[in-house]
Amino acid sequence: MKTVSCPTAIVRSSLDLLEGIRRSGILPEKQCEKIRERVQKGTYPLEAPSLAARLVKKGVLTAYQARYLLHGKTEGLALGRYIILDRLGRGSMGKVYKARHRLMGRTVALKFIAREYLVRPNAVPRFLREMRLVGRLDHPNIVRALDAEEIGRDPCIVLEYVPGQDLERLLLARGPLPPLDVARYAMQAARGLAHAHELGVIHRDIKPSNLLLGEDGRIRILDLGLATLIDNEDADKDSVATCDGMAVGTADYISPEQAVGREELDGRSDLYSLGCVMYHLLSGKVPFPEDSRVECLASRIKGRPASLGELRPGLPPDLIAIVDRLMANHREDRYATATEVADLLAALVGGDSSAPATEVERHTAAADPDPAAVSPGALSLEPPSFGEPGTSYPSSIIVVAAPGWWLRFLTFLSERSPWLVMVTGAIALLTTFAAGFFLSRTIL
């Protein structure tokens, strides 16, 4: 588990730490009393950081809970029927926590909407729509929704907890992945997308960090926070902000039709993003590594990325051909369905849908330290509070902005002669200079 450095803990005494544990509600009173007795007898340390490390080593607390409590925080670890164990990361609309059900003992993932979204128009209805969307999906390659509720004033989805590592972290750790692995992962993602598309759901934000490689070797699609219901029979469709006319997604993987804000998106937009993911996993580079997000979006509207065969010689030609077609600029030139893509990739990998156990173990090297190896010094601290604790997975920049006239204007210029571009640029420069001159004269 990654930690953030912090000089000292606020809570120094073991008895103060125990009082915080009791007030937090994460342990039964009897268990707190047993720990107190051992502290008084000298069996457990008197210093709070040492006691916290001992309790983490014995599995009584998680390292996350220990950091939280050592900073004097007691609220927010026990939420309704759940005990917060760790923070897993940040999704498109909120944060995700690992938690345990109080009565059933089942480990789950809790996804909360970010509080800043709650003040925006239609934020809660949009989140409730996501709950309905995820609840309709039931496929081995999609993280399943188990429940939906409001905890306090925070809407929450209860998801199955899948130990593993997302493909973004895997790529960062290993560099470009073996072609067979990429084909296998993409095949499973395509199967999950096929199920979602059949139910009228498009993901709109397929990227490496949203593809989780479980310890069982199975890929599962994460984070349907940007999914849009395209089922015409949905009675509430008009009451929810669907982000029509907006470029919604992650700039490095967004489809051309998303970049220009086309309203009639379909599953082929997800297939383009899947092609971008495969390109990145195979080459170690994003397809359009421009200096700015605007240039990145503009490039994919008319341009083509560098050849995979040149970036990584020796790749199977059939795999390159699949990626090329997935990333066709016009969706009519892509594969018609995710099922077609999954079948082609299955033929390429010989129908094997899972990685060998030894390979999975190598891919998903434990993110958390061995509890037996935890020491007081390992409990590096940060001042946590509910909504801001823990660490987050690395994430790409999300583009949620109206593309407006500027992207279409860039596309228009790209189709014209260089002289027109130069003249337009000169006019824009002179206009900006003149406006600045007159503004400065007015101020002075």
Buried b (16+ CB within 10 A) or exposed e, 192-221: bbbbbbeebbbbbbbbbbbbbbbeebbbbb
Task: Give pLDDT tens digits for 265-294.
Answer: 899 999 999 999 999 999 999 998 866 667
Contact (CB, 8 A) for 144 and 137: yes
Token representation of residue 191: 């199967």
Task: Give pLDDT tens digits for 341-367.
Answer: 999 999 999 855 544 433 433 443 433
Q: Identify the pLDDT of residue 113.
A: 75
Q: Once rounded to an integer, what is the mean pLDDT over residues 131-154?
A: 84
Q: Identify the pLDDT of residue 224.
A: 66
Contact (CB, 8 A) for 281 and 177: yes
Q: Identify the pLDDT of residue 132.
A: 76
Which residue has 């992962």 as its token pair? 185
CA angle, residues 38, 42, 47, in degrees to nearest 5: 95
Q: How many CB atoms lie within 10 A of CB 415?
A: 8
244 is catalytic: no
Cα distance from N-terminal residue to C-terminal residue, the chain: 57
Token representation of residue 120: 């925006």
Catalytic residue among 205, 223, 252, 270: 205
Region of residue 373 (left: phi > 0; alpha: psi -120 to 50; beta: else): alpha
Question: 112: pLDDT confidence band, cut at 50, 70 and 90?
Answer: confident
- Three state DSSP letters for 187-250: HHHHHHHHHHHHCCEECCCCCHHHEEEECCCCEEECCCCCCEECCCCCCCHHHCCCCCCCEEEE
Task: Give pLDDT tens digits for 216-232.
Answer: 999 999 876 555 433 33
Contact (CB, 8 A) for 270 and 193: yes
Contact (CB, 8 A) for 179 and 319: yes
Q: Once rounded to an integer, what is the mean pLDDT over residues 19-33?
A: 94
Question: 57: pLDDT confidence band, cut at 50, 70 and 90?
Answer: very high
Q: Once rounded to an integer, what is the mean pLDDT over residues 371-386?
A: 40
Dist CA 139 CA 132 (whole Å): 15
Q: What is the dihedral of CA 58, 59, 60, 64, to 10 degrees?
A: 120
Dist CA 418 CA 438 (whole Å): 30
Task: Write the CB contacts of 285 (distance below 8 Å, at least 6 apart in sequence).
Answer: 279, 306, 311
| 102-116, 158-172, 173-187: least confident range | 102-116
The helix/strand/coil state of 94 is strand
Question: 186: pLDDT confidence band, cut at 50, 70 and 90?
Answer: very high
- Of 94 and 338, the structure prediction assigns the larger pLDDT to 338
CA angle, residues 312, 316, 319, in degrees to nearest 5: 100
Share of the chain above pLDDT 70, in %: 66
Dist CA 141 CA 139 (whole Å): 5
State if pTM tops 0.75: no
Local structure of residue 364 (DSSP, 8 states):
T
Average pLDDT, the chain: 77
Q: Identify the pLDDT of residue 394.
A: 34
Dist CA 187 CA 2 (whole Å): 31
Q: Identify the pLDDT of residue 364.
A: 39
| 8-12, 115-119, 158-162, 314-318: least confident range | 115-119
Q: Identify the pLDDT of residue 95.
A: 85
Q: Identify the pLDDT of residue 333.
A: 96
Task: Give pLDDT tens digits for 395-429.
Answer: 333 344 444 444 455 545 545 555 665 666 666 65
Q: Identify the pLDDT of residue 384.
A: 38
Which residue has 């004269």 as its token pair? 441
- Of 10 and 270, the structure prediction assigns the larger pLDDT to 270
Buried b (16+ CB within 10 A) or exposed e, 315-336: beeebbebbbebbbbebeebbe
Q: Identify the pLDDT of residue 339.
A: 97
Question: 432: pLDDT confidence band, cut at 50, 70 and 90?
Answer: low
What DSSP line would sit under 108-174, residue for residue? EEEEEE-GGGGGSTTHHHHHHHHHHHHHH---TTBPPEEEEEEETTEEEEEEE---EEEHHHHHHHH
Question: 125: pLDDT confidence band, cut at 50, 70 and 90?
Answer: confident
Contact (CB, 8 A) for 338 and 193: yes
Dist CA 375 CA 297 (whole Å): 47
Dist CA 89 CA 314 (whole Å): 36
pLDDT of 261 strictly over 90: no
